[in-house]
Every structure is written in C-alpha cells, then in structure tokens.
Structure 1
C-alpha cells in the first residue's frame, strides 16, 4: 500500500479483526486492510494524496492454481501539518489534577494521541474530535516545582507546546468566612498558595442535594480567595439549610469541607414613601428598611 509517496505497512492481525463472518466456505479474504504509514520515508507535502493498493500474487500460488495481479486507487486522503499553538492554563499545583488544553491546527489528524508532561503521561480526558482543534488531558503529579515541557504525540510524532507548564506549591485551605451565606453573597477563603490553582470553585451540598459549582475570582494575594455563593433551590423563603461547602481547587485530590448554614436570598422592600424616596430633615440619623430573609 502506498499513500502518496509514503509506504504503508499492512498489519495482518488488525486486518483479520475486521474480517466478517464468511458467507461461503470458499471466501478466505478480508474486506478491510489496516496499514501503518512508515516513519522516516519521504516527507509528504501537505495536501491530497492517493491511496494505492497493489496486489501481486505469484503464478499458481493459490489453492486453485490462479493468480491475482492488479492495483486500485482511492482518493480522499489528505496530508496535513499538525501544530500546537497554545497551552492553557500555564500553571497548576504540584499534586497534579489540572485540566490542560492544547490548541492548534489539525490536532485531530491521525489515529492515536497521547500527551506527556516532562515525560510523564498526561491522561486524555476525552478523545479528540474532528475539527475541534483541541486536545485535553489531566496533568500528572510532579516530583518537584518549576517548569515542565508539554508534548503532544500523534501517531508517534511529537508536537511540543510553545509554552512550558509551571508546577507550583500545593494549596492549603484553612478557613472560610462567614459561616453562613445565601445566593450571591461573598465568601472569603483563607489559606496558603491559593494562587497555585488556575480555577478555584465552591459547591454547597446538603441531604444529597448539590448545587452547581461556581468559579471564584482570581486571587489578588496567595492567602485569600473571594467566591460568590451558588444558588440553592429553597422551597420557600422561611427555610434554612445546614450543610457542607466544598472548596474545589483545580481538580486536585484535596477537597476541603466546611459546615455552612444557607439562607434564602434576602429581599429588600421599596421605601413606603412617595416615589420610593426618603427625605431626611436636619437631625434625622435613622432609616427603617424592611428586609425579608435578613440574618444578623
């Protein structure tokens, strides 16, 4: 088999696995041939290439004394030049677990993909899909801190990412304040190395019910994260729920749980004065506001 100017070695065992059940005892051939493009051959130019199958059987070789000679040509195969143009995110904790995305051109070409980070396997989270231009994997743990080379392998050929990945110290969460919350309120998470993760999230769960995880703001300092509380489906405005707030840091194995009481979102009623405006006289220093669901 030739693909353009490159040879393609037939893999008999894999071809046999595609053999259908025989409809006749005389049928002893395969309907699918599997071959592997030979490395190190002439470099094929980018663009379409014909697939040429040539059969040459010596005279009298078959059990019935006849021979087969000939070739068939199939169009539609295209050689492309794959390349990695971006790596995201650029850093993560030493314990691993960061979801890496490699973006580029023609990354779904070929039939096998793998990613390594400093030579260690970065397991794919899903198989690349045609036209996506992205390959995703989960960063392995590292033996030390610092930069690491990320390489995408397609059918045994390597395509290094243009940027390196940086391993940072593992984060530690020590506290969360306040100890109560409602949808949209701001929670403060304190700890160390909280800027080692690119994406921090929080999630509230109670009695088997779990909220969607909401993403926290990027930390301004390594010791503090600000996160807005996710929505929780209360049946009425008088309920409260005591449950666990999970702090999820970039998919690391560590998950921190904190007891937290959840309240319905407070509602502030408009001022009862005309035009909802309160006019103060000199000496007035108190304003009465009616709020439903306020907690002290």
Structure 2
C-alpha cells in the first residue's frame, strides 16, 4: 500500500480557510486537481463571498497546482449540482469529495432556537448529503470514489452547548456507515475525519497555548490518507496535535430474557451482564445485532 493519487480530482467544501484550506493545499501538493468550495460566510453561517476560495486557488496555482474556486451553498441542491457539473466540464470527472463545510451556533439547549438547530443541521448533515448525492451516480459510473465526512468528538461523546452541532456530527457517522454498504461494489470508499484543530470555529474556545499546538496541517495528512487510491473504508479517524486514533462503536454481548421474563425488573436484575464489556463486538451492518438476539432464541439461550 502507498499514499498515491492517480490523476485525481477533488472537491473540498468549506476550503476557503482553516482546516478546509489545509486539506486543499495538502491534496494539491500531491498533484490532485482541487475545487475550492467556500460560501465565504461567517462562522455562524451569515454572509458570503468567493474571495476566500479565490485566495486559496491562487496559493495552489503559485505552487504549480491546478484549482478553481466555487461559492456554492452546500445546502442548496441546484448550486451544488452546478458545481459538480462545472468540475466535470473543467477537469473531466470527480474522484474525491471532502465534506468539510460547517458552522457553529452554540447555545445551551434551553436557550437555543429551532432556527439555530435547523441551520447547523442543514449545513453539516444535509449539506454533506447534498454534495454526496450530487457526485454519487457519477462515481458509481466511474466505479471509483473517495468521500470523507467530517464529524467531531462532540458528535461522538457530547459537548455542553452543542446539541445541534453534536446531533449533526453524529448523524454523519451513521450516514457514512450505510453509504459504505451501498458503495462497496463500485470501489466508493467512505470515511470520516474527527479533527481537533485550530480554526475560526475553535478560536475563543481554548487558551492560546493550547490552540498553538492544534495546527491544521497534521490533521490534513490524515485526510490525505483517507482519500488516497489505497484508502481504508468505513473508519472514523480522530486527528489532532499530531495524534491519530480510531473512534469505534462496540456492542456488548448482553443477554436474552425468555418470554414472560422480559420485565423491567429483570432488566435491572441483569444489568451487570447487559453492561459487561466481556466479548464486545464491532458490527459492520445493523442486521448483526438482530441476528445475535434471534440466534439465542433459536438456541434457547436465556439468562436465568
């Protein structure tokens, strides 16, 4: 295996600054033709300008790479479809999609408006789905695709004041797991990046001495691997401060209660066995959970 790119074309959303810019530059440095997509809005999603994207394109061209700017709003299907069409017209295809665009509207849930909820979910979750949908059939026809979602530790573990953001980010990991099943026979590999990096969205949330250690470039090197020709599939790569780890979901073995004994009281009585980590498994499709329980019924394996 090696980290190589064979004449690849990538769309990177939210690439006008911060982590997205770093992703675009890292891919361009390896010869990938890059579409730098950025609405050019503020952290909370208001406003817009293509200036940021155009600036990154100039950086890529200065280093001898090929790129073009695009200001499509990732939540608007017509704009995204036009971006994909323009990419294919300019570069002939789309091999890689990096869903990086995002906004923040942090508030405790009691103070959050449903407008704050809807917009954050729309940009992160719907925006990733909209962009993925726009390239999906094209990648199927080409029998090749590399797609990355961007999740967060807030989506995996929770973070105070980020119910909207956390819900959207958790949704992306579920989106990725199902897409992997549908894209497998077309060599479309889908992974998720869970970054901890300095950006406009983290400014003011951490002390300066901590932020100084959270450079974006090492995170982008993890992204580069996730979209290369020999990329893995169906992983959540956590990356930050030069550290890399995988986030995984495991299920305990648990128990089955026989008919008539499936009561709340018996769930409580067997809680230790239900929660035990012994024999935990990582499943790759939802049917495995049901199969576990049904196999026990067939074999009459019930907790006493």
Normalised TM-score (structure 1): 0.23
- Higher Rg of the two aligned structures: 1
Normalised TM-score (structure 2): 0.23
Relative to total residues, which structure has the larger strand share, 1 or 2?
1
